């Protein structure tokens, strides 16, 4: 039996891994969130893993409120960077493979073609900066790591853009949504399946040495406006979506204008077929409304 610790398991990604875990009976999962294991405490992590023979840590914990992070710099850094250092230290000292999740918001958005893993990060705000700091700790401390940068996560769980659009779409006759920020939505269910697939490949191959940084999102490209329009059409909400510019949307954090991720590496190394973003919305909405 391979033992796996999941941190931040009550969030979007952690909840999807939890649902899918029943299909993987070669793995024993230890699902934790802040109440069971606060990753900000190095000693708590050390105590938790004692006598559990953990082989993998999947870190789904994070400070994900992009706007609030601008005013809560310290807490965002503690959770997204310092706590990740704790996990990397414990993983490295105990021969554990650390699977860590990061974000498209580590990029500035200056590209006009999809970002590859080795392109220079240049975050625009506190959230992106602290996430990049966390990545660097993982790369520098824990050789056996997989960092997966993903983008625009949505699921039936927690807070996300799709759920916000479904709610506002019922409450309002029209909604203004930015059309000049382009990226790719990622169904957290697909990312969770991919993480479990990757773990299976690594655990079946003792010679695996493709550790490092990867990009994963669904296929395709769209703006938040396109995403919102597709959500409203699929959910049959009557709300009209107006396309606006970022400068006309009031918020605290700047977001990249372009954050499409190049997924060639993950597709090649782990033999993946990735569904198009448009094809996954229905699946998620069905789960929310059933
Ligand atoms: N959401 C998105 O659009 C994207 C997310 N990502 C990355 O993907 C990963 C998963 O994101 P997502 O599932 O959306 O995140 P969520 O915000 O849904 O979940 C994060 C979970 O971590 C918990 N948590 C916070 N602090 C701690 C702590 N100190 N110790 C243990 N648990 C803690 C949170 O608890 P509580 O809710 O109580 O704070 C929450 O349950 C993150 O690394 C995120 O940066 C990347 C790209 C896009
Ligand atoms: C709710 C809303 C948002 N927007 C804009 C604001 C913003 O530019 C964009 C997305 O808004 P949100 O605040 O929902 O999403 P945001 O918090 O920017 O989402 C990000 O979260 C972090 C955790 C990530 O890692 C990123 O990949 C990304 O998913 O849409 C509108 O234009 N109209 C609206 O009604």
Give the nearest ligand 2 atom to 164 CA. Answer: 1
Query: Which pLDDT belongs to residue 284?
Result: 98
Ligand 1 centroid to residue 7 C-alpha, Å: 9
The active-site residue out of 127, 137, 189, 214 is 127
Neighbours of 234 (CB within 10 A): 17
Give the nearest ligand 2 atom to 153 CA. Answer: 29
Give the single-character DSSP code of 256. Answer: -
DSSP of 194-243: HHHHHHHHHHH-TT----EEEE---BS-EEHHHHHHHHHHHHT--PEEEE
- Strand segments, DSSP code E, in 65-215 are 97-103, 145-150, 153-154, 174-178, 182-183, 186-187, 212-215
Ligand 1 centroid to residue 8 C-alpha, Å: 6
Tens digit of each residue's pLDDT, the chain (290 residues) = 899 999 999 999 999 999 999 999 999 999 999 999 999 999 999 999 999 999 999 999 999 999 999 999 999 999 999 999 999 999 999 999 999 999 999 999 999 999 999 999 999 999 999 999 999 999 999 999 999 999 999 999 999 999 999 999 999 999 999 999 999 999 999 999 999 999 999 999 999 999 999 999 999 999 999 999 999 999 998 899 999 999 999 999 999 999 999 999 999 999 999 999 999 999 999 999 98
Determine if the pTM surpasses 0.95: yes
| End-to-end alpha carbon distance in the chain | 35
Ligand 1 centroid to residue 118 C-alpha, Å: 24
Task: Assess contact for 175 and 240: CB atoms under 8 A.
Answer: yes
Domains and CATH numbers, the chain: 2-159+185-218+260-276 (3.40.50.720)
Query: Which pLDDT belongs to residue 290?
Result: 85
Give the nearest ligand 2 atom to 255 CA. Answer: 8
């Amino acid at each position: 039996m391979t033992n796996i610790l999941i941190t931040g398991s009550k969030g979007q990604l952690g909840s999807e891994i939890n649902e899918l875990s029943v299909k993987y009976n070669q793995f024993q999962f230890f699902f934790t969130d802040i109440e069971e294991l606060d990753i900000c405490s190095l000693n708590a992590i050390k105590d938790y893993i004692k006598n559990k023979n953990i082989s993998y840590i999947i870190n789904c914990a994070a400070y994900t409120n992009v706007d609030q992070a601008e005013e809560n710099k310290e807490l965002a850094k503690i959770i997204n960077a310092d706590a990740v250092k704790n996990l990397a230290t414990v993983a490295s000292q105990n021969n554990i493979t650390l699977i860590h999740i990061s974000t498209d918001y580590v990029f500035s958005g200056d590209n006009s073609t999809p970002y590859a893993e080795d392109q220079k990060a240049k975050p625009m705000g506190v959230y992106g900066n602290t996430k990049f700091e966390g990545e660097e700790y993982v790369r520098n401390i824990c050789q056996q790591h997989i960092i997966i940068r993903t983008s625009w996560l949505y699921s039936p769980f927690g807070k996300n853009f799709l759920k916000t659009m479904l709610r506002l779409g019922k409450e309002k006759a029209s909604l203004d949504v930015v059309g000049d920020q382009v990226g790719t939505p990622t169904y957290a269910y697909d990312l969770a399946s991919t993480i479990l697939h990757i773990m299976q490949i690594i655990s079946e191959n003792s010679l695996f040495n493709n550790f490092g940084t990867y990009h994963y999102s669904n296929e395709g490209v769209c703006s938040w406006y396109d995403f919102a329009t597709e959500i409203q059409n699929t959910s049959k909400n009557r709300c009209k979506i107006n396309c606006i510019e970022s400068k006309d949307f009031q918020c605290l954090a700047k977001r990249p204008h372009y954050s499409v991720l190049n997924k060639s590496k993950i597709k090649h190394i782990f033999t993946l077929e990735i569904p198009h973003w448009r094809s996954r919305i229905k699946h998620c909405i069905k789960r929310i409304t059933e």
